[in-house]
Chains A and B, each alone.
Chain A
């Protein structure tokens, strides 16, 4: 490594394909959600992955997160912590807010003592006050969403993967959470953001990858990629 401050390559994808069985279980024909996807993720990037619904974007994130393996091509993680931003992970309705914070945090990979240290911040950010020791079954949906959001944002991996979930909770909180999300994306963190909203990608990402029918169609500067993507959308 010549210069550690330089943008190091964190992930490399080469001709990645991911297939599913079109039937239940292990039988049935293979269906390729992704066929040929290649790109790199460098340190400090906010990479937007754009494409229409159902082109395997979520499968791609799952593979990057290390939940599944590619069925073709190669994917290399050069030794970094990667995780999906998960709202309300493992939430159990009959447990209290506090217990759900611990459970959810531990499922996300945080150690119990880390969660305890952050507990007050999480409760404060969720604006739950005394409700924190009530079962979340008694919460309004807005309160559950706020709690989910506060916990989700405590995880601090090297690479954060976000599947378009910007609108959470009531209007006021939604604004607060969107700000936090943008702050996180704009900070020096490395992010992969998946969306079919060109506007959001344009706002939040410095680089973009466009995937169509499981194949990378363009990669590079957000502006250029989006231009091609929009041109394509207007053609159909």
Chain B
């Protein structure tokens, strides 16, 4: 076998491994509880229910758009947040495995991104069902939804790779990540509409990619409007460059990670 052949063969094997490990992790998770897989549905229903009861019923937002507005923001945010906070520990968590076999370390965060994305897709389906029963309709702009999801996944992957690459050297970073995420949560317009932001600060508000992304989802799902292609394009471009750089960063430490003390 030529070296080139061997390399592409090895690459295909890693793809297959990522697929099987993702399936295995998801399955293992469903086996841990009595209701198993149903929790992927019940948990978000309970979560959304809490917000519906609190904002919709108790605070009387039942008639306006606030509940769907909030649930879209929360759903999208949860996906981003879970990938980052779980993903940051993946290379650190793979320490036992990497002492025994050689694996490209970037595999660890990739598997996490995939498992969390599969779970998110269930929640997204629920959200769509909620929106349709609430009275929103499927519009032409839904075509842009897969693109938007893809851009968010790329953006999330870039940040997840970066955190996963650094956390083994600076485990303390995990505590910072949680709080930074909370701060960004408030700045991403999950709970507030950008309309209330003073005009002179709006420019800074939209420097946050998540603020743009969440607004794009709302435009598609609630107002049947196309996303803002310019900002989306810029986010996609930055993410792709970022992924290329962070993957190289992880590669650079390929033989160092197994030596880092846990």
Contacts and interface: CB of A to CB of B under 8 A. Distances in A.
B93 interface: no
A67 interface: yes
A65 interface: yes
B102 A66 contact: yes
Interface in A144-197: none
Interface string A10-31: 0000000000110111100000
A90 interface: yes
Nearest to B97: A90
A102 B27 CA distance: 14
A60 interface: no
29 contacts: A20-B261, A21-B261, A24-B171, A25-B170, A25-B171, A25-B261, A62-B99, A66-B102, A67-B100, A67-B255, A68-B255, A68-B258, A84-B100, A84-B101, A89-B100, A89-B101, A93-B28, A94-B28, A94-B31, A95-B31, A99-B24, A99-B27, A102-B20, A106-B16, A106-B17, A106-B21, A107-B17, A112-B16, A112-B20
Contacts of B21: 103, 106
Contacts of A66: 102
A109 B13 contact: yes
B232 interface: no
B98 A67 contact: yes
A101 B179 CA distance: 40
Interface string A39-74: 000000000000000000000001001111100000
B107 to A, nearest CB: 10
Nearest to A59: B259
Nearest to B9: A111
Given A24-B261, A25-B170, A95 B28 contact: yes
Contacts of B256: 68
Contacts, number: 78
B169 interface: yes
A62 B258 contact: yes
Interface residues of B, number: 29
Interface string A108-127: 11011000000000000000
Interface of B: 13, 16-17, 20-21, 24-25, 27-29, 31-32, 97-103, 168-171, 255-256, 258-261
Nearest to A84: B100
A198 interface: no
B128 to A, nearest CB: 30
A69 B257 CA distance: 11
B169 A107 contact: no
Contact of A67 (B28, B102, B171, B260): B102
Contacts of B29: 94
A86 B103 CA distance: 14
Contacts of A20: 259, 261
A109 B29 CA distance: 24
Contact of B13 (A24, A25, A95, A111): A111
A235 to B, nearest CB: 33
A103 B103 CA distance: 13
Contacts of A107: 17, 97, 101, 103
B103 to A, nearest CB: 7
A216 interface: no
A233 B100 CA distance: 30
Contacts of A92: 24-25, 28
A94 B27 contact: yes
B20 A103 contact: yes
Contacts of A62: 99, 258
A38 interface: no
